[in-house]
Amino acid sequence: MRLLSLALLALCLAGCAAARGERLALEPLADFPSLLSESSGLAAWRGGLLSHNDSGKPATLFALSAAGKSVRSWPVPAGNRDWEDIAVHGDDIYLADTGNNGGQRRDLAVYRLQLAAGTLQLRQRLPVAYAEQGNFRPPRHQHNFDAEALAWVDGELWLLTKRWLDEDSALYKLPAEGGKAPLIEQQRLATAMLVTGADYDAASQTLLLLGYSRHWLDRRAFLWLYPVRDGRVEEAQGRRWQLSEGGQFEGITLGEDGFIYLSREGGGSNLFRSRQPLAELLPTAAPAQPRR
């Protein structure tokens, strides 16, 4: 009885926190093929989309139409230990092998790939290590050094963490040319969710963050939109939305049509599009969201 009461209390608290965000209507677009059942990253690319699975699946990159139909796939010349997000800049495709649920990994990296003569080629391996991490043997999900969100922002790769202990997100900046020095936390965001995906719109200088609640009884999904100015996230001007669909949303990208595309792991619909374009959702006219 005590466990049931605690579970109901957690459910109530999750609902109260979610109520602070406005509701964002999504349009289901497609069910991904079984080969892409665990889409954990999404990027706009050549009028369509790129996506990939996370750990436990082959090292494969998938090209999709904007409607979510499979176009083709390529083997990736880098192992899929735990791919979590993807970003595109020009001819470069960046894959974040930075999933770290157990907090024990010392081989985190972002891979820079290019498509040449119909083949994906590995151009560079950018190592990822956190200056603040001292314990590499924490209990599973009892640490703050898991990262599942990657975005290209004004010449830098921004990596945003999934902080299991407090549901905040820490921002780390990875120089595009790489380097061996451990990354230092640049900013902390009170996201009140487990951050699982990111994208950046240079035209509006807006950072998009996707995530969901840690409460397994009621896994609601959320979107944050933050203005970015002079290399910093304007957290006080952020705007939070609760998605009209719940579940394990992992991939997000701004499509070439100006709408937001999102992918979800698991059965049922996997690809969604916002019913409003980003231009109608920008946080400039919204009041700041209260912290938890």
| pLDDT at residue 21 in the model | 63
At 6, is the pLDDT very low, low, confident or very high (cuts 50, 70, 90)?
Answer: very low
**162-214 pLDDT per residue, tens:** 999 999 999 999 988 888 889 999 999 999 999 999 999 999 999 999 999 98
pLDDT tens-digit readout, 224-276: 999 999 999 999 999 999 999 999 999 999 999 999 999 999 877 899 999 99
**15: pLDDT confidence band, cut at 50, 70 and 90?**
very low
In the predicted structure, residue 110 carries a pLDDT above the cut 70: yes
In a domain, 224, yes or no: yes
Average confidence (pLDDT) over 89-106: 97
Q: Is 244 a domain residue?
A: yes
Domain assignment present for 132? yes
Number of structural domains found in the chain: 1
Q: Could you read off the pLDDT of 213-225 as tens digits, one per residue? A: 988 778 999 999 9
Render pLDDT for 51-89 as a digit per residue (tens, 0 to 9): 999 998 899 999 999 999 999 999 999 999 999 999 999
Burial status of residue 70 (CB atoms within 10 A of its CB: 0-12, 13-18, 19 or more): middle
Please, which pLDDT band fits residue 284 given cuts at 50, 70 and 90?
A: low
Contacts (Cβ under 8 Å, ≥6 apart) of 266: 37, 247, 248
CATH number for 168:
2.115.10
pLDDT of residue 31: 95
CA distance 251 to 85: 7
CA–CA separation, 157 vs 207, rounded Å? 12
Please state, in angstroms and rounded to a whole number, the distance separating the CA atoms of residues 256 and 277. 11
Q: Is residue 292 part of a domain?
A: no
**Residue 59 domain-assigned (yes or no):** yes
- pTM of the model as a whole: 0.90
Contacts 24+ apart (CB under 8 A), 12-18: 13/215, 14/213, 14/215, 14/217, 14/218, 14/220, 15/218, 17/192, 17/213, 17/292, 18/213, 18/220, 18/222, 18/242
291 assigned to some structural domain = no
Which domain covers residue 151, as residue numbers?
Answer: 2-285
